Chains A and B, each alone.
Chain A
Amino acid sequence: MTREADVVRSLVEMADTLVDDYDVVDLLTGLTGKCVNLLGVSAAGVMLTHPSGRPGLVASSSEAMRLLELFELQAQEGPCLDAIRTGEGVGPEVLVPGSRQWPSFTAEALEVGFQSVTALPLRYRDVVLGALNLLSTTPDTMAEADRIVARAFADLAAVSIVHHRSNVEAIRLNEQLSAALTSRVVIEQAKGVLAERAGVDLAEAFARMRHYARNHNHRLTDVAEAAVAGTLDPTAWQPGSAQ
């Protein structure tokens, strides 16, 4: 019962991060820790695919795990990479020396002390974002109940990553919109300043501002900012400028 309560709390904690601004690496590092605590595995690691499509290591529960995952990436063979490639779960597999499935990875994992492995893809709808690697120092394969929980963690991590990425994009677009609007506002303020200084209407003031910017190879927004700051060259609003 305690284990169930822990699992539920872990899932809720992870779901909470969907709402707040958070760091994906923090989330996934936390995930690897939860896997070790709650699933009876010895180590966990997460790989995510970069926009280029290549997998990279993002989080691990221990240094030994991190090194093994780096080895997997370098050797370009292993359970995590297979899970990413196929989009399907891999294992549970008992690691045996001389295995033909992942010869280099198996040798290295056994050397470090791991004896069995399960890898689950991080999937969001049809997209594979990466994979979760779970290793044990015993040859026992993971119980069904544990695999179900591991699956739930992997799914929630995938959703979190997608939400985070779209949120980052939304923040960027909103800031772009806000900045663009602010630039316009400064130009409108500058029109007013120049209209008053030159004693002309707003349209004429804008024409003189544009003309000055072109002639002096300045950006319009820079000219506008100078006008508002009161540092603009007075020739900018003189009639001779707008020929």
Chain B
Amino acid sequence: MATDDRLHRILGSLAAVGAESLAPGRLCEVCPEIVGVSGAGVMLMSGDVPRGSLCATDSVSQLIENLQYTLGEGPCVDAYLQDQVVAEPDLAEPATRRWLAFTPPALDAGARAVFGFPLRVGTVRLGALNLYRDRPSPLTADQHADALVVADVAARWVLEAQAGAPSGTVAADLETGADFHFAVHNAAGMVSVQLGISVAEALIRLRAFAFVHDRLLADVADAVIARTLRLD
């Protein structure tokens, strides 16, 4: 099927759910049906680092993003860093051993196949589209091609949404439904004062704690904020 036809079909699906406003969340919503996956999410990345999630259709997709934010490894991270599609159609019996920390919790949550599609406009790399299935299976050629179009549209939408934002602010359309892990930064501020260290170092300490105790960074941050956890 020609790319233009694919694009028209996908834009048609978006119109059907009333997606006139520029929100990547809408794209996420239609992804499962268009591409044939159980859930989808969009990860924003810059400077080689995950910045957060722009949207996620369900708790598993949220966890997939959260794991990659915590661990710095996973299908979206790889897709972004390598600037190519990353596919793991059978997470429990992968062809290549990778993501040793990411894989067990992802499997526990019910993800059996994961895919990462880079979000790119021209030479600009924005992040990646996150897709998972609750059964192990590869994407068909058509589904792969559809996902490429969705990623392309999502990337353009992110930039167009930002184009409308008042100077110095994140576009409102991008913040809705997004998770930029502000709690982690709140916690880093608190820890920096508690331990008498810089905020940058506090972030490192939080990550180290999460790693050692096998917890999500977001959960550790929440505990610090709730004052049920101190790192000293």
**Measuring CB to CB, which residues of chain A are less than 8 angstroms from any residue of chain B?**
19-21, 163, 166-167, 170-171, 173-174, 176-181, 183-185, 188-197, 202, 221, 227-228, 230
- Given A181-B170, A188-B186, decide whether A174 and B46 contact each other with a Cβ distance below 8 A: yes
Contact B182 A188 (CB under 8 A): yes
- Interface-forming stretch among B26-34, B104-112, B119-127? B119-127
In this complex, what residue of A is CB-closest to B125?
Answer: A174
Query: Which residues on the A side are within 8 Å of B51 (C-beta)?
Result: 178, 181
Query: Which residues on the B side are within 8 Å of A228 (C-beta)?
Result: 189, 192, 199
**Measuring CB to CB, which residues of chain B are less than 8 angstroms from any residue of chain A?**
44, 46-47, 51-52, 121-124, 126, 158-159, 162-163, 165, 167-171, 174, 180, 182, 185-194, 198-199, 225
- Given A167-B123, A173-B159, A173-B163, decide whether A180 and B182 contact each other with a Cβ distance below 8 A: no
Q: Which of A176, A189, A196 contacts B194 (CB 8 A)?
A: A196
A127→B124 CA distance, assembly (Å) = 25
* Supplied contacts A171-B124, A221-B168, 12 more A-B pairs, CB within 8 Å: A167-B124, A173-B159, A173-B163, A174-B121, A174-B162, A178-B51, A179-B168, A183-B168, A189-B189, A189-B199, A192-B189, A194-B189
- Given A21-B123, A170-B159, A171-B123, decide whether A193 and B193 contact each other with a Cβ distance below 8 A: yes
Query: Which residues on the B side are within 8 Å of A190 (C-beta)?
Result: 189
Contact residues of A: prevailing secondary structure: helix
In this complex, what residue of A is CB-closest to B170?
Answer: A180
A42→B169 CA distance, assembly (Å) = 53
In this complex, what residue of B is CB-closest to A179?
Answer: B168
Query: Which residues on the B side are within 8 Å of A196 (C-beta)?
Result: 189-190, 192-194
Contact A174 B159 (CB under 8 A): yes
Q: Separation in Å of the A24 CB from the closest CB of chain B?
A: 14
Contact B186 A191 (CB under 8 A): yes
Q: Which of A171, A173, A176, A191 contacts B189 (CB 8 A)?
A: A191
Query: Which residues on the B side are within 8 Å of A230 (C-beta)?
Result: 198
**Lowest 10 A-B CB distances belong to which pairs?**
A192-B189, A167-B122, A196-B193, A188-B185, A193-B189, A192-B186, A192-B190, A188-B182, A170-B124, A189-B189
In this complex, what residue of A is CB-closest to B163?
Answer: A173
Query: Which residues on the B side are within 8 Å of A163 (C-beta)?
Result: 122
Query: Which residues on the B side are within 8 Å of A202 (C-beta)?
Result: 186, 225
Max chain B CB contacts within 10 Å: which of A166, A179, A196, A230?
A: A196
- Given A188-B185, A193-B192, A193-B193, decide whether A176 and B162 contact each other with a Cβ distance below 8 A: yes
A196→B174 CA distance, assembly (Å) = 30
Contact B47 A178 (CB under 8 A): yes
Query: Which residues on the A side are within 8 Å of B188 (C-beta)?
Result: 189, 192
Contact B185 A189 (CB under 8 A): yes
A149→B193 CA distance, assembly (Å) = 68
Contact A188 B122 (CB under 8 A): no
Q: Separation in Å of the A234 CB from the closest CB of chain B?
A: 12
Contact A166 B122 (CB under 8 A): yes
Would you list 10 pairs from A and B whose C-beta atoms are within 8 A, ordered by A residue? A170-B159, A174-B121, A177-B159, A179-B168, A181-B46, A188-B186, A189-B185, A192-B188, A197-B193, A202-B225
Contact B190 A195 (CB under 8 A): yes
